[in-house]
Amino acid sequence: MTAKTNNRALVLTGLLIGLIFAELDETVVSTAMPTIIRELHGLSLYGWVAGVYMLAVTMFMPIIGKLADLYGRKKVYLSCMALFITGSIVCGLSSSMTMLLAGRGIQGIGAGGLMPLALVIIGDTYPLEQRAKIQSLFGPMMILPQLLGPTVGGSIVGHMNWHWVFLINIPVGLLAAAVLSMGMRESRGEEKRSIDWAGAVTLVLALLSLLLAPVLIDNQGLAWSSPLIIGLLVLSAALIALLVKIESKAKEPIIPLHLFRNRNVVVLSLLVLILMLGLMGGIATFPFFAQNVMGLTPTAAGYLMLAFMAGAIPSSIVNGFLITKVPYRNLFIVCFALPIAGFILLSQIGLGTTVLYIVITFFILGLGLGALFGGDNLIVQESVEKQHSGVALSTVQLFQSLGATIGLSVFGSLLARHIKTGVSDLADQLPAGTADNIATGGIPAGIAPDLLTKVQTVFAEAFQNIFVISLGFVIAAFFIVWFLKKEVLTPKEKTAEAVSLH
């Protein structure tokens, strides 16, 4: 694909519209869920609406990346957008929870291709210097939907009905697809290409059995030690071993094994996996602390995340400018020292914690993690051959997704267990039946002030434990960063020229 024939502004506009809407969809849907559950009588399947979507996104990400490398980015990206729109139609017309879940699955498969492929298309369209600046804004822009989501979801449900939460994706998806189609030119050879079906099926089954474990724990109340969960994890390990065997013999493997001989791909996959495992659980559950111990409203607790963005956006932009001038390993080392400080501060929270303390802590975390927004994707793209950039990016994003999913579940279970154990001593003083619900539903209103202090202390201690564990993960991430190559990010063409001159 040649950059000369592309209308870059149209390509970028089309990609941004599509991406922001795919991201917005998640938060809007979670806001509308209580209404949907009430109308479709689907309380028992509540957690599966997010679970099915996330399973589909994660399982199909590497497969879509590989298909894009084989058949052309534009064709596969537009197919993903078509799937996302189809899923939205199914969800919007749902009259039962089963239909809604099917629609969410279709949407998820489409969404699994949108983010990695958008980055690959930008990589093919813009030179490295410009791309570093564009991608440094991409990460922060993806947070925008999360802040707008609850407001948009609330007003759609309030002024229209919940069906429009999904149906609104149709015109926007079509617009994004049309803009991209007009702006992007891509030529592909017509030679017959083989697809590694055995690898694709094995990969989907391996990821399904691995990711079903946290989804079942969150939705069916199972423990990590239950036989079914252990069985799923063992099955997943066996299927991964089988996948490695299949991929080593396949002509066009779904995940080429040579990617794992690439130092940067391995280091960054490990980095995002460890970071997401440690970060997501602690940060995602934080609003629960803000509401129950600090006494903030759900909205105010959500807005604390703005402090994280206030650190991440400038850090991401500065890193985008520096990454083509300074060795990226040095940038990452400096940045990844900051989350360590952030989690040391978070592990000290208690009953007297102020909003200012949290704002400063989140700002420090944002400054440190800003290096990842766009930075990791750029390094991956420039570390592999162009024909493998789709599957390489998807593979690193797959590790990020796995870390986030498992981290959320494990930390959620740990937190609930800590709170339950702590509250069990106070059960006889609490209103009947509330002791079991406190871990998930929060502190009941109207309990005596001295008892309230005791319960809040249990919460504070539970969160301190969680953040100490997160601190361990963040320290591990800091050490992993040292294994990156110590080189300045330069376009592959320049590197090739330099080699040929010597």
Residue 464 has pLDDT above 70, yes or no: yes
* pLDDT above 80 (res 491): no
Cβ atoms of 128 and 491 closer than 8 Å: yes
- Mind listing the pLDDT tens digit for each residue in 377-418? 788 878 888 778 778 888 888 888 888 888 877 887 788 788
Residue 146 to residue 20: CA distance in whole angstroms: 10
359: nearest Cα among 427, 442, 296, 273:
296
Q: How many other C-beta atoms are found inside a 10 Å radius of the C-beta of residue 191? A: 5
Q: Would you state the pLDDT for residue 468?
A: 92
- Within a 10 A sphere around the Cβ of 499, how many other Cβ atoms? 8
Nearest-5° Cα angle at 217, 213 to 219: 115
Mean pLDDT in residue range 421-426 = 78
H-run or E-run covering 80: helix 73-92
Q: What is the pLDDT of residues 206-225, one digit of tens each?
A: 988 888 887 777 767 777 78
- Non-local (6+) Cβ contacts of 208 within 8 A are 55, 59
Q: Which residues contact 22 (CB under 8 A, 6 or more apart)?
A: 84, 110, 111, 114, 115
Token pair 């992993």: residue: 480
Contacts of 258 (CB under 8 A, 6+ apart): none
Do 384 and 392 form a contact (C-beta atoms < 8 A)? yes
Q: What share of the chain is helix, strand, coil (3-state, %, to 5)?
A: 80, 0, 20
Q: Tell the burial category of 95 from Cβ atoms under 10 Å away from its Cβ (0-12, 13-18, 19+).
A: exposed
Q: Crossing angle for the helix pair 389-424 and 263-284, nearest 10 degrees?
A: 30
CA pair distance 428, 449, nearest whole angstrom: 16
Confidence band (pLDDT; 50, 70, 90) for 140? low
pLDDT at 191: 56
